[in-house]
Chains A and B, each alone.
Chain A
Amino acid sequence: MTAFAGTGALARLALRRDRIMLPAWVYVITALIASNSYSLGRLYPGAAARAALAASGGRNPALVFLYGRLSGDSLGAVSAWRYGVWAAIFASLMSVFLVVRHTRADEEAGRLELVGSAAVGRLAALTAALLVAVTATVALAVLLLVALVFLGLPAAGSAAFALAITTCSLAFAGVAALAAQLAAGARPARGIAIGVLGAAYLLRAVGDAAGPGGPSWLTWLSPLGWTEFLRPYAGDRWPLLALPLALSAAAVAGAYALAVLRDHGAGILPDRPGRPAAPPWLRGPVGLAWRLQRGTLFGWAAGFAFTFAASGAAAKGIGSLLGGSTQLRNAFTRLGGQAGITDAYLAAIMSLAGLAAAAYATSAVLRLRAEETGDRAEPLLAAATGRVRWGLSHVAVAVAGAALLLAVAGVAAGLGYGLRAGSAGTEVTRLLGAALVQLPASLAVAGAAVLLFGLLPAASVAGGWTVLGAVVVIALFGQVLRLSGWILDLSPFTYVPKLPGAAVTAPPLLWLALAALALTAAGLTALRRRDIG
């Protein structure tokens, strides 16, 4: 067993390094499910309201595509339908990030070489990473169970729900372990594992929406489908837990087999040779920023297209779905405006698109900081690239990327809704406009990150995401939490016209654009004056 020597020490090191991130994942996932189950209970208080929801929502193909099949109309079953698959996705992402971070990412950074030269076995790092993922998953299962039972849901169903989510997470811990052996870099390894997760979601979505006569068996191929077939609170089919556990075991066994075969630092998949010379467009900081960020942007765009097409398609018939709950109807009109329930729903998903685009733009801008701390800014700035030009290169990608993502969201939602409602042409234009009015607000959030990067570089990553988090909380929960007006006024999204439906005036959009510009300019000015590195 010398291959496992040092596993304990490495696992403790990993837990020490993750002492903030790991509890944050676990708490956030638990809080999302618990708070949403709680609000579902308040929105649909009676059995009759839930039966109406089940009758309309369970048959809306777009919602079935997004969330899965509904297996009952108890509060628990409705919660499991509405949040189960997505909670499993988040829990699986947690496992993927944890496992890759402590295996391939450390290996790529050269840290495992130092560790491996000590009396540490070949399989120790991989095992330690898996132990950390299992620890996080078990903690998540316990916390979820406690929270759900505390909400008054049946204990057996809650256990099934918690295990459905967490066994899926274990399956993807295994997939990530395997991916970390296959690919030679952390980014591609995460890409493979998240790609498998995306494929699992698509298989499940297509299988679920296929209906009788269609390829509904596809759902059975997906670990996310298994969480749904487990039917928490509606029969609790326990034996199905064996499927994700078996997948996890098989993937881990595969990862171990490959880990002893391969060389340190190498992957099983060959690194494809690239171009021996640079293409003509790769000639300045903008070209480089585009080259570095384009893959991520394409990933986001695919996610946007998929999500907003499905959300748009769900808009048809949304009126009858929300009819059962006056509170929900109110919630949508609060977020989406007054002009009819369908427009209110569409406007609400467009604000979500705006928030997501703000998240993208923030991450794109913060790439500057990653380049700086990774010492990759140095060769650029030592060449004839001014600091402002370098800063602007990533800002340009953020601006263009956010605009592209919002356009994709508008067109996809317009097509999704328009094709079902028979008015694709008008809906695409209407929703494209509704998506693009979000752009100045999204960029204002990213502008705050630029300012932080210039003024307080060490705090810019945490600060940038905190600003985004605060904006999201104000936009989604500001009115529910009865925050005072001046707090609501802090979020740029408070000023965005709620399209489609509302009237548009130019001044708020201009002011937001000006704010984004001013924040960016201030950040870049500060960047000119400070030390690099």
Chain B
Amino acid sequence: MTGAVTNAIEVRGLRKSFGRTTALDGLDLTVRSGEVHAFLGPNGAGKTTTLRILLGLLRRDGGEASLLGGDPWRDAVALHQRLAYVPGDVTLWPGLTGGEIIDLLARLRGPRSAVDPKRRQALVERFALDPAKKARAYSKGNRQKVALIAALASDAELLILDEPTSGLDPLMEAVFRECVDDERQRGRTVLLSSHILAEAEALADRVTIIRDGRTAETGTLAEMRHLTRSTVDAELAGPVSLDGLPGVYGAEIRGTHLRCEVDHAALNEVLTRLTAAGVVALTCRPPTLEELFLRHYSSERPGPGAAP
């Protein structure tokens, strides 16, 4: 994986301050072509600032950023013909209808990006949107649907979605996930900023976690799980002791029931002891992104394995 051809987005050491506040402090982000990349971080971490720099709305103070092989500030208009964006807080023109806005946004993407009317109609039906309503009458979720349909109906090669489901109900969220899966099948690249971890877990090929304007961690979920502990839950035939085993944390033993967290390196040893005691039922669950996330953003947890 070298060069701009395989990477849709390549950001190195990105810096941006607003007056005295530093929003981005050396952020790195690489999104490979054709992948769904989740961009995770708490409020105020700098996600939206990064996206706005990638869209050429803000000028970077330092660092390098390339988008689809071009410079996001200099080549903004040419690049924007090849991408579609859904802002986190969708505000629309109150006097225009949803249908008008969908068409307008598609047409604004340039003469080459004709919207397929069938695809547009299918998406309107899939998201159950009434396109004849004025935007002022839409709820937050419906405003978001307008922006999503406009983006999904386009044939842009890159979709930049800023917390796209924050106003959608679970049903619509499911529709959204199906749509992103379809886009992946069609070979489109998706950058999905979110703090909804289940969403990133369900959709993303790779994840970048940022904190205070810096990249805290990046990789596939599998890679990140190497750094973390699995949760083991077991019902045993007889008593067991895990005392003195390294890499085992928070063991709770109530009668024949055991629950603990285990470093991957120690998993084999733990299982050996459990089978010796006789296993009745066993679950071993990899960490959720929620747990990864908590590790990075809750204040420092003491003990080994607290930080990679």
Contacts and interface: CB of A to CB of B under 8 A. Distances in A.
Given A381-B57, A384-B110, A187 B94 contact: yes
Contacts of B78: 384
Nearest to A385: B108
A533 B51 CA distance: 13
Given A380-B108, A384-B77, A384-B110, A278 B100 contact: yes
Interface stretch (A134-142, A282-290, A344-352): A282-290
Contacts of B107: 278, 282-284
B96 A386 contact: no
A187 B105 contact: no
A285 B93 CA distance: 13
A531 B58 contact: yes
B91 interface: yes
Contacts of B93: 288, 291-292, 376
A1 interface: no
Contact of A283 (B56, B91, B94, B104): B104
Interface string A508-533: 00000000000000000000011111
Interface stretch (A124-132, A269-277, A433-441): A269-277
Interface stretch (B132-140, B231-239, B253-261, B267-275): B132-140
Nearest to B146: A379
B95 interface: yes
Contacts of B160: 382
Given A282-B104, A384-B81, A386-B76, A271 B136 contact: yes
Contacts of A273: 97, 130, 132-134
Given A375-B89, A379-B147, A108 B136 contact: yes
Contact of A382 (B85, B101, B130, B133): B85
A278 B103 contact: yes
B80 A383 contact: yes
A interface SS class: loop
Nearest to B147: A379
Contacts of A378: 55, 57, 87
Given A380-B108, A384-B110, A271 B133 contact: yes
A383 B59 CA distance: 17
Contacts, number: 125
A144 interface: no
Interface residues of A, number: 39
Nearest to A379: B105
Nearest to B112: A384
A185 interface: yes
Interface in B50-76: 52, 55-59, 76
Contacts of A379: 85, 87, 105, 108, 147
Contact of B99 (A187, A277, A531): A277
A212 interface: no
Given A383-B109, A384-B81, A384-B110, A275 B97 contact: yes
A526 to B, nearest CB: 13
Interface in A178-224: 184-185, 187
Contacts of A278: 99-104, 107
B80 A382 contact: yes
A263 to B, nearest CB: 12
A108 B94 contact: yes
A449 B104 CA distance: 27
A507 interface: no
Given A282-B103, A282-B107, 7 more contacts: A274-B134, A276-B132, A277-B103, A282-B104, A376-B93, A384-B110, A385-B77
